[in-house]
Structure formats: C-alpha cells, structure tokens
Amino acid sequence: MNLGDILSGPSNILPEMQAANRWDAIDELIGNLVSTGKIKPENREAITAVVKKRETSMSTGIGFGIGIPHASTDLITDVVGALGRSKKGIQFDALDNQPVDLTVLFLVPQGQFQKHLHTLASMAKLLHIKEFRTELSQAPDAAAIYEVIKKYSTPK
C-alpha cells in the first residue's frame, strides 16, 4: 500500500496544519479522519490514545522534516491515513532534533502486521525522496499536494 492508496483524495490532506507539537498534530490529523468519515466519531478518543501511546514509546519523527505517527487498532477495517503540512514546523522530538513539516498519520487494522510494516516502509522510502518533499512543500493546496503524491506513488 502506498501513500496514494491510503489518502483517498485531497480531503485527507491538511495543507496548513496549526499544530505546534506532535500531540496536537496527531489530534489534528485524527480530527480530519473523523470529519471525512474514515473514523467513527465515537472511536476518536480510543484511536487517539493508541496512536499517542505508540508515539510515547519512540518518536516517529524520522528526520528530514518528516513525522509518521501510526498504530494498529481493531476499530477500523481498512488502512486509513491523513497528511498534514506545516509551514512553521512542528516540534516532534525527531531523531535529528529538527521540526517536522510533513506529518503522515496512518492506521492499520489490528493483526495486519505485514501490511503495517510494508505501509510504513513504502511511506518512509517515498518521503526520503528530496524532489518529492520539495514538490509537496511548493504545492499551493490540498488538490495539488494530492497530484504530487499520485505522481510519485504510481509505479513507473
């Protein structure tokens, strides 16, 4: 599964995140998944707790201005995700101690360990492409960001 598959369209992209730290970023992206119907409102708190618990064990700020908070939960049936971009940077306790400007939050159904690993690996690989990150940062809005993601996510 690649980033283009997980984001079902521009509605799951926040081009101007307001969060200042990783906890607010997680809340903001989960709020997007609730508002777009990817997560049931009654499951919001439980899912937020699972993602934050995972983040507490080790920051998912992987360097290069990237954060990939993620978790498994039995409260969803398909992989879901949202992407946020921050112009001012988010304090994420990243491995390189730099602020994060691209945050991809994704959730995998409980028990799908291989899918979880493959999804995380494909995202990290994609986000390490400098040209991809540059194009994402320069895209004017969610629709343009989604087009960049589709361009890079499509097998060549």
Domain spans, the chain: 3-153
**Residue 156 binned pLDDT confidence (cut-offs 50, 70, 90):** low
The bridge status of strand 100-109 relative to strand 61-63 is unpaired
pLDDT at 39: 96
Distances (CA, A) of 73 to 76, 90, 101, 105: 6, 25, 26, 13
Q: What is the pTM of this model?
A: 0.93
- 53-78 burial, b for 16+ CB within 10 Å, e for fewer? eebeeeebbbebbbbbbbbbbeebee
Residue 78, CB-side half-sphere exposure with 13 Å CA sphere: 12
- Catalytic pick from 70, 116, 118, 128? 70
> At residue 24, does pLDDT exceed 90?
yes
Q: How many CB atoms lie within 10 A of CB 156?
A: 3
* 41 Cβ neighbours under 8 A, 6+ residues apart: 34
Pick the CATH number of 3-153 from 3.90.550.10, 3.90.870.10, 3.40.930.10, 3.20.20.220: 3.40.930.10
The helices-and-strands tally (H runs, E runs) of the chain is 6, 6
Residue 14, CB-side half-sphere exposure with 13 Å CA sphere: 27
pLDDT at 2: 84
> What's the rounded mean pLDDT across residues 47-70?
94
Whether 118 is a known active-site residue: answer no
> What's the rounded mean pLDDT across residues 95-112?
94
